[in-house]
């Protein structure tokens, strides 16, 4: 059973900001929140990861409230090339390895001209 819940699909237009929210009510204390982007016939690509508060990198921002039961991926000024499926996952490293990641359905983002 996936640990996360996201909207199935979203639509946007070029140049707009897109916010995708993910629910993870049962997140464990050690879990990190990671977002991936996947294009057709490619492996998921790492976008951003955070534990709490706000994280920002050159492509996205990640907002995590204090209770950590949800997170929001923010993509500034999207372009057509941002059309993809976005996955939110929670997990953490373990002493002997890494806790497995269980994928939910993801959010299919379509960016229109």
Instruction: Give the interface segment with another protein, choosing from 17-25, 39-47, 62-70, 73-81 (CB under 8 A).
Output: 39-47
Q: Is 32 in the site for another protein (CB under 8 A)?
A: yes
Q: Is 102 in the site for another protein (CB under 8 A)?
A: yes
Q: In the complex with another protein, which residue's Cβ is closer, 26 or 93? A: 93
Rounded Cα–Cα distance for residues 99 and 80 (Å): 34
* Residue in 28, 59, 80, 92 binding another protein, rule: CB under 8 A: 92
Strands (E), 1-113: 9-13, 18-23, 32-38, 45-50, 53-56, 61-64, 70-75, 84-91, 93-94, 97-98, 107-112
Contact residues for another protein (CB under 8 A)? Answer: 32, 34, 36, 41-46, 49, 87, 91-93, 96-98, 100-106
């Amino acid at each position: 059973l996936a640990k996360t819940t996201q909207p199935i699909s979203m639509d946007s237009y070029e140049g707009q900001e897109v916010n995708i929210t993910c629910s993870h009510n049962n997140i464990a204390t050690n879990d990190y929140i990671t977002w991936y982007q996947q294009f057709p016939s490619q492996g998921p690509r790492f976008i951003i990861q955070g534990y709490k508060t706000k994280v920002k990198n050159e492509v996205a921002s990640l907002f995590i409230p204090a209770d950590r039961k949800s997170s929001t991926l923010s993509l500034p000024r999207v372009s057509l090339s941002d059309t993809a499926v976005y996955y939110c996952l929670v997990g953490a490293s373990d002493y002997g390895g890494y806790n497995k990641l269980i994928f939910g359905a993801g959010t299919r983002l379509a960016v229109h001209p």
